[in-house]
Structure 1
Amino acid sequence: MGGKAPISFVSHQDNTNIRNNETPFCMMFGTEAVLPIEVTQPTARVEGYDATTNADSVCLNKDLLEEKRHTAHSHNLQNKQCVSCFYNARIKARNLQLGDWVMKEVIPLPTALRPTWEGPYQIIEVVSPDTFYLKNKDGDMA
């Protein structure tokens, strides 16, 4: 084999969660998985394996698993809150008034490739801030 190592040896993606720095396998079982490539091409982690200390470490990891899951859940909630704040900061509220042209949502939502909105409709009467009487472009009530 020449000077370059095969691509599978050079790069490895373990789907580590950016927020909590844990892999899905670790979040489920409380310990990291050993990849098949690490068995054939030993790494420092595999070479440093000791069966007696490993049993103690596995027990400790299982004890701390609930705490890891709680921390990951807290990070996920915090991330959702940040995304929500980012989105809501860019929303501009617009009050609809008499005479505005709007699109109406199709309920129940259509399947396949049918549109989810229909219209345009003109607001002809405001019943409450979020309730309107509409008419289509032909003048028929909707």
Structure 2
Amino acid sequence: MNGAVEAANKNIKKILRKMIDKQRGWHEILPYALLGYRTTVRTSTGATPYLLVYRTEAVVPVVVEIPSLRIIQEAELSNAEWVSKQIDQLALIDEKRMVAVCHGQLYRQRMTRAFHKRVRARNFEVGQLVLKRIFPHQDEQKGKFAPNWKGPYMVRKVLSRGVLVLSEMDGTVWPKPINSDAVKRYYA
């Protein structure tokens, strides 16, 4: 079954390449592209979107032409047997969705770990001099060629999770705490 789906997805990719080259007839190709997207296993969930929505894997037209074991078995079932099989599949859908949720959580943890490997910790101490970023939505922003940093300011307090309380050089305390992502060290 998966081999047939992969073959269908390869054919869809070829069709999409032709569509991109010609830039015409995309409306005829769109259903095939959507089928390929919906029947491809997602890395984040470990399942296809089709499986999570419809409780079963998609039957690709190739599989209907060259019947798989699943198609042959369903064709030879009586109505009562088919209904009981569907009820069994419905009972398993919660388990399949839980597996997808667990897979998603593990994927998120892996991505978080990979991100944090590249992050450098920025520690500030009381008394250090820093520059504060001027964001585009602030009143201090004057235009395209204006400076991006303002300061220097002195760190008065270091709060949890990288929050800083700043003061002007004359000792006036800045009214709002600021995140350490919006400041950088000032080297005089």
TM tier, smaller: 0.5 to 0.7
Matched-pair contact (CA < 8 Å) for 1:15–1:23 = yes
Which segments of 5 or more consecutive residues in structure 1 lack a partner in the other structure? 1-6, 109-113, 136-140
Task: Please tell me the residue identity of whatever aligns with 1:99.
Answer: L
Q: For residues 58-97 of structure 1, what are the alpha-carbon distances to aligned partners after superposition, in whole Å with 9 as ceiling and x for unaligned?
A: 2111001111111110110111111111211221112346
The 3 A distance-change label for structure 1 pair 93 and 9 is: closer
1:29 has 2:63 as partner = no
If each structure's helix is expressed as a fraction of its own residues, which one has the higher value? 2
Does residue 83 in structure 1 map to residue 107 in structure 2? no
- Tell me what 1:74 maps to: 102
- Structure 1: how far apart are the matches of 2:10 and 2:82? 27
* Structure 2 unaligned spans of 5+: 1-6, 13-35, 159-163, 176-188
For the structure 1 residues 10 and 95, does the alpha-carbon distance in structure 2 shift closer, same or farther, using more than 3 Å as the test? Answer: closer
Point out the more displaced range, 42-51 or 87-96: 42-51
Aligned with residue 119 of structure 1, among 141, 144, 148: 148
2:66 aligns with 42
TM-score for both structures, normalised by structure 2: 0.51
- Give the count of matched residue pairs: 123
Which residue is equivalent to 1:131?
165
> Scaled by the length of structure 1, what TM-score is found?
0.64
Q: Does structure 1 conserve the Cα–Cα contact (< 8 Å) formed by 2:44 and 2:104?
A: yes
Q: Secondary structure at the match of 2:167?
A: strand
Q: Which amino acid in 1 is paired with 2:47?
A: E
Say which SS state the counterpart of residue 129 (structure 2) adopts.
coil
Cα pair 1:31 1:58 within 8 Å, conserved: no
CA RMSD of aligned residues (A): 3.5
